[in-house]
C-alpha cells in the first residue's frame, strides 16, 4: 500500500527519503508558497525540494515553520547551483542556504548540474558538509553514467541520489539501471514532462480505466519502476491528486509506458552543461 507520508526509500548511507516529494520550482510568492506547502503537507507530502537557483529558500523555510510541525517531520532537499560550485563557494553558499531555510541541517544536498571546472572540489566540499552535520545526505542532479563513473575515481563516498529528468518520453532506462546497480536512488524531476504528456491518448486511456488523472498514471509508473518523484503544481486539487497513488498498473500498462521513449528532453543536456564548464575553464586559462 502506498502512503505518501510513510513510504520511503532507504538510501545507501542508511537514511530514509520519502518516495514522493513536492517540487517548489517557480513558487516565487510567499502566499503561494504557504498555500502550496500546507496543501502538500495535508495531502501526505513530507519531502520539499528547492534549490539555490530557485531563489525561494527563505519562503520555503518560512512555509515549513508555518506548518507548526517538528523539523524531523519534514525532509528538505536543496541544490548547489553552478555559479556556487568549487570548494569554498560550495561551503559558503550552503551556509547561506541554511540561514535562508532557517534550519540547522539540510536532509539532502545535491550538486544541481555537473560542472567540469569544479567537479571534484565541489564533491569534496559536500563530503565535508556531511561530516560537519550541516547536511544529512549528499547526492547529485543531472549526472550521466560517465560523470558518476568519473566521480567514483576520487569520491570517498558516492551519491545517495541522482535526480534526473525522466518521464515516458525520456525513460532513461540504462541510467536508472546503472544508478540501481550502484545503490543510488533515481529521483525524477519534471516527471510529467512539464505537462507535455498529459494529453497523450494512450496515457489518458489508462487514466480513464483506473479512474485517475494522466499525471497519476505517470507518477505511479515511476514508483513501480523504483523511481522517486517530485511533481510540482500550484493547483490545490492537483497537489492532492498527485499524492493519491495507491493503485497498481498492470505489467502490460507498464510496458506500454516504457516503449513511449523518444529521448525527448524538456531541460538541458547534462553533457552539454559539463562541456560548457570545461570550455569556460580553458578560456580562463
pLDDT tens for 196-215 read: 899 999 999 999 999 999 99
pLDDT, mean over the chain: 94
Cα torsion for 171, 172, 178, 184, to the nearest 10°? -80
Active-site residue among 9, 41, 45, 54?
A: 54
Q: Which residues pair with 80 in a beta bridge?
A: 111
The larger pLDDT score, comparing residue 241 to residue 270, is at 241
Q: How far is CA 215 from the centre of its chain?
A: 17
In Å, what is the CA distance from 9 to each residue of 6, 18, 69, 90?
10, 6, 22, 27
Residue 69 has pLDDT above 80, yes or no: yes
Report the interhelical angle of 87-101 vs 119-131 (nearest 10°): 50
Which of 76-85, 130-139, 233-242, 275-284 is predicted with the least confidence, judged by mean pLDDT?
275-284
Query: Exposed, middle or buried, 264 (CB in 10 Å: 0-12/13-18/19+)?
Result: middle
- Residue 195 binned pLDDT confidence (cut-offs 50, 70, 90): confident
- Residue 283 binned pLDDT confidence (cut-offs 50, 70, 90): very low
Contact of 87 with 122, CB cutoff 8 Å: yes
- Average pLDDT value for residue range 243-252: 98
Task: State the Cα–Cα distance between residues 160 and 163, nearest whole angstrom.
Answer: 10
DSSP character at residue 71: G
What pLDDT is stored for residue 194 in this prediction?
Answer: 87
Q: Which residues pair with 20 in a beta bridge?
A: 229
Contact of 45 with 243, CB cutoff 8 Å: yes
Contact of 226 with 180, CB cutoff 8 Å: yes
What pLDDT is stored for residue 266 in this prediction?
Answer: 77
Three cell numbers at 189?
524531476
Query: Is-catalytic flag, 53?
Result: no
Task: State the Cα–Cα distance between residues 136 and 30, nearest whole angstrom.
Answer: 27
Residue 143 has pLDDT above 50, yes or no: yes
- Residue 269 binned pLDDT confidence (cut-offs 50, 70, 90): confident
In Å, what is the CA distance from 85 to each residue of 115, 117, 164, 281?
8, 9, 19, 13
Contact of 186 with 228, CB cutoff 8 Å: yes
Neighbouring CB atoms inside 10 A of 182's CB total 15
Residue 285 has pLDDT above 60, yes or no: no
What pLDDT is stored for residue 92 in this prediction?
Answer: 98
Three cell numbers at 114?
555537473
Contact of 164 with 139, CB cutoff 8 Å: no
DSSP character at residue 4: T
Domains of the chain plus CATH, in order, are 8-276 (3.20.20.100)
Q: Which residues pair with 110 in a beta bridge?
A: 79, 139
Binding-site positions: 112
pLDDT tens for 179-192 read: 999 999 999 999 99
CA triplet 148, 151, 152: central angle to 5 degrees?
Answer: 90
- Does the pTM surpass 0.85? The reply is yes
3-state secondary structure of 226: coil
- Residue 4 binned pLDDT confidence (cut-offs 50, 70, 90): very high
What phi and psi values does residue 165 have, to the nearest 5 degrees? Answer: -75, 120
Task: State the Cα–Cα distance between residues 241 and 211, nearest whole angstrom.
Answer: 12
- The alpha helices in 102-144, defined as continuous H runs, are 119-131
The half-sphere exposure of 67 on its side-chain side, counting CA atoms within 13 A, is 25
Binding-site positions for substrate: 112
Amino acid at each position: 500500500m502506498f502512503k505518501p507520508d510513510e513510504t520511503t526509500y532507504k538510501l545507501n548511507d542508511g537514511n530514509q527519503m520519502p518516495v514522493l516529494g513536492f517540487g517548489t520550482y517557480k513558487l516565487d510568492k510567499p502566499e503561494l508558497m504557504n498555500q502550496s506547502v500546507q496543501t502538500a503537507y495535508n495531502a501526505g507530502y513530507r519531502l520539499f525540494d528547492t534549490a539555490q537557483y530557485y531563489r525561494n529558500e527563505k519562503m520555503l523555510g518560512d512555509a515549513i515553520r508555518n506548518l507548526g510541525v517538528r523539523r524531523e517531520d519534514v525532509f528538505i532537499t536543496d541544490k548547489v547551483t553552478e555559479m556556487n560550485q568549487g570548494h569554498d563557494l560550495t561551503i559558503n553558499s550552503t551556509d547561506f542556504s541554511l540561514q535562508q531555510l532557517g534550519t540547522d541541517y539540510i536532509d539532502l544536498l545535491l550538486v544541481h548540474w555537473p560542472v567540469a571546472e569544479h567537479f571534484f572540489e565541489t564533491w569534496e566540499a559536500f563530503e565535508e558538509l556531511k561530516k560537519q552535520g550541516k547536511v544529512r545526505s549528499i547526492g547529485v542532479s543531472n549526472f550521466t553514467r560517465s560523470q558518476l563513473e568519473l566521480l567514483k575515481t576520487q569520491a570517498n563516498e558516492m551519491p545517495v541520489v541522482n535526480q534526473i529528468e525522466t518521464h515516458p518520453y525520456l525513460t532513461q532506462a540504462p541510467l536508472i539501471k546503472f544508478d540501481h546497480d550502484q545503490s543510488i536512488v533515481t529521483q525524477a524531476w519534471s516527471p510529467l514532462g512539464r505537462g507535455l504528456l498529459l494529453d497523450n491518448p494512450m496515457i489518458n486511456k489508462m487514466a480513464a480505466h483506473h479512474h485517475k488523472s494522466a499525471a497519476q498514471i505517470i507518477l505511479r509508473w515511476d514508483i513501480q519502476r523504483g523511481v522517486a518523484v517530485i511533481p510540482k503544481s500550484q493547483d490545490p486539487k492537483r497537489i492532492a491528486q498527485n499524492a493519491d497513488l495507491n493503485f497498481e498498473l498492470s505489467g502490460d500498462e507498464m510496458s506500454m509506458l516504457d516503449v513511449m521513449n523518444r529521448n525527448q528532453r524538456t531541460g538541458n543536456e547534462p553533457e552539454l552543461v559539463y562541456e560548457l564548464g570545461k570550455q569556460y575553464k580553458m578560456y580562463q586559462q
